[in-house]
Structure 1
Amino acid sequence: MSDDSQSDSITVAQPPFDRKTADVVLRTSDQVDFYVRKGILAEASMIFEDMFGIPQGGNVNGESVTPVISMTENSCTIDFLLRVYYPVDNSQLETGEDALSALEAARKYMMDYAMKEAKKQFIIHAEKEPLRMYAIACSRGLHEEMRMAAKASLSRPLEDSHEYVKELDDISANAYLRLRDYHRRCCKAAGSLHYSDTTLGTRGWSRSAFSKTSFNPDRLWERQYTEWARKILQKQPSAAVIASPDTTYAFLTEDNAGRALSHIHLDRLRREIGVFVKQFAEAIDSVVETVRDRYSLEKSWR
């Protein structure tokens, strides 16, 4: 391709990355030029800071030329990374693939804050499409994102979260079966949680049943809630599901709350249940993390 034809195919990025007063140009893999300032990039990334220490640019006919840096990332990824650090609205990554690409680029350029923002957006996509995001992360060998997507899959029953998606063609049967086994193990661990308290006011959970001796009658509803929630956890071992207002509302509107009212007024129950559910969700997260620590999904990605 000639220089003229290549120049014709190059487009300029949308504002604010179109200002010719910039002192460096980032040219993406899809031929989009981002006009940016070295100072901002250097503060955001040690990689860019070191890069700018190397002499760049030059003079043409006595006029200074803005240096151009060719990037391996596409314009969607670069736009996201830059908007994290520029005083403009952050861009929303429309697909999980875009979020993963942004995460990889943020790691590559050591842009910690951009990595956190990209991770937040990946989680949003993983919650919507857990199996698909797991398969894509697995095919790219992204271990942390595999774990994030696997955890997101726990919010759905096994039969609902594991419908076929075309990205499964890119991973091994072992990778898929290990995800299913991980889901089952988490169901077993979270679904076996039993509530415990004493008249001294302590509260806790264990994976073995407790005796009813020394039981505080004012907390009968807590035991009832835990036993009711265990049925959900046996299919959806997710702290997010239990912490959802919809789940709390379901408990309060079913017969469970009516049985608890013999020991506690409904208004008090409504006040206290939020704190209780938060602690219960933390206990669920703890047992799920224990499963993950003992069960390596990463072995399946190759």
Structure 2
Amino acid sequence: MNDDFSVPDGDIILRTQSLPNRHFRVHKLVLSLASSVFKDMFGMPQPEPDASTVDTEVVDVTDPPQALDLILRLIYPIPPPIVNNLDLLVEGLVITDKYNIAGARARLRMRLAKFVNEDPLRAYAIASRFGFDEEAERASSLTTGIYLPALTDLPDDLKHISAPAYHKLIRLHERYRNEIEDAVDAVLFEPACLECKVAKALAEPRMRTKLVRIFCRGTPITVAAYIRELGIVCKAACMTKFVEGVAVKLGGKNAIILP
């Protein structure tokens, strides 16, 4: 029996199907107040209790034990759990939708907002899947620090979002990449860059892709480190001017260029 949900006066046991079985002895009243689905469920005929659970109704559920434990902690009047795992948070949201538990869903939504900065791509997918428009909008703007074409493994969460939500994300990234390429083109054709072969080198498709990917990261990088990563050497300072010039034109929207 689960230590936190084995109260003597509990009048129902939720028994998970994964082995070993987990038993949660809880109260019908609490579950009914939190969920209309549970309320309706208790009105349906249930199998006769076995010898170990005399006078206590048993309901078999297919929910993951850890996620069910999480939801029970969110609907019972006990200190709320701290959710530091997106996988668990998603499993919990699935349960709240399955049983229509609005209160727990709202609390998990608040927790998802904490992950927007840590993992914006997954946060966007999860928010889109569960209809959290505000969080999806905020997360999508932060995903521009990720160069999507370079990802070999996309989060499984993206499999659960709608085609319009995925299309919106792709269009956003295209717009940001276009902004970067426009800034690159504007700086490349300044006289300072034409004095050496920087413009010619960066005009190559492979090098332009590499250049855009660096700016798309959205993480701080020094001018010197940027130049080393590009691998383009010039005797004059035009390469430095080029990197600084692109950063200025982008206005800090993408990579933060440090001195």
DSSP-derived class of the 1:26 partner: strand
Distance 1:164 1:40, change over 3 A: same
Partner of 2:142: 155
Query: Does the 8 Å CA contact 1:58/1:65 hold for their aligned counterparts?
Result: no
DSSP-derived class of the 1:102 partner: helix
Structure 2 matches for 1:251-262, cutoff 5 A?
none
Are 1:50 and 2:37 an aligned pair? no
Structure 2 matches for 1:127-276, cutoff 5 A?
127-134=117-124, 137=126, 142=129, 144=131, 148-149=135-136, 151-155=138-142, 158-160=144-146, 162=148, 164=151, 166-168=153-155, 178-183=168-173, 185=175, 231-232=251-252, 234-235=253-254
Q: TM-score, normalised by structure 1?
A: 0.48
Q: Distance in 2 between matches of 1:166 and 1:113?
A: 34
Are 1:121 and 2:108 an aligned pair? no
> Which runs of 5 or more residues in structure 2 are unaligned?
180-247
DSSP-derived class of the 1:76 partner: helix
Query: Does the 8 Å CA contact 2:12/2:27 hold for their aligned counterparts?
Result: yes
Q: Distance in 1 between matches of 2:50 and 2:85?
A: 42
Q: Offset at 1:86?
A: 1.0
Query: Does the 8 Å CA contact 1:81/1:102 hold for their aligned counterparts?
Result: yes
Matched residue type, 1:38:
K
Are 1:107 and 2:97 an aligned pair? yes
DSSP-derived class of the 1:25 partner: strand
| Cα displacement string for residues 96-127 of structure 1 (whole angstroms, at most 9, x for unaligned residues) | 12111211211111111111011112222233
- Aligned identity (percent) is 25
Query: Does the 8 Å CA contact 1:132/1:167 hold for their aligned counterparts?
Result: no
DSSP-derived class of the 1:27 partner: strand
Partner of 1:21: 9
Distance 1:155 1:55, change over 3 A: same
Q: TM-score, normalised by structure 2?
A: 0.55
Matched residue type, 2:44:
I
Matched residue type, 1:13:
N
Distance 1:52 1:129, change over 3 A: same
Query: Does the 8 Å CA contact 1:25/1:66 hold for their aligned counterparts?
Result: yes
Q: Distance in 2 between matches of 1:170 and 1:104?
A: 12
Distance 1:32 1:160, change over 3 A: same
Query: Does the 8 Å CA contact 1:134/1:146 hold for their aligned counterparts?
Result: no
Distance 1:160 1:129, change over 3 A: same
Structure 1 residue ranges (4+ consecutive) displaced by more than 4 angstroms after TM superposition: 57-61, 160-163, 168-172, 174-178, 183-189
Partner of 1:83: 73
Partner of 1:261: none
| Cα displacement string for residues 260-282 of structure 1 (whole angstroms, at most 9, x for unaligned residues) | xxxxxxxxxxxxxxxxxxxxxxx
Q: Distance in 2 between matches of 1:161 and 1:120?
A: 27
Distance 1:45 1:171, change over 3 A: closer
Q: Distance in 2 between matches of 1:130 and 1:155?
A: 6
Are 1:39 and 2:29 an aligned pair? yes
Matched length: 178
Query: Does the 8 Å CA contact 2:16/2:60 hold for their aligned counterparts?
Result: yes
DSSP-derived class of the 1:35 partner: strand
Q: Distance in 2 between matches of 1:59 and 1:177?
A: 51
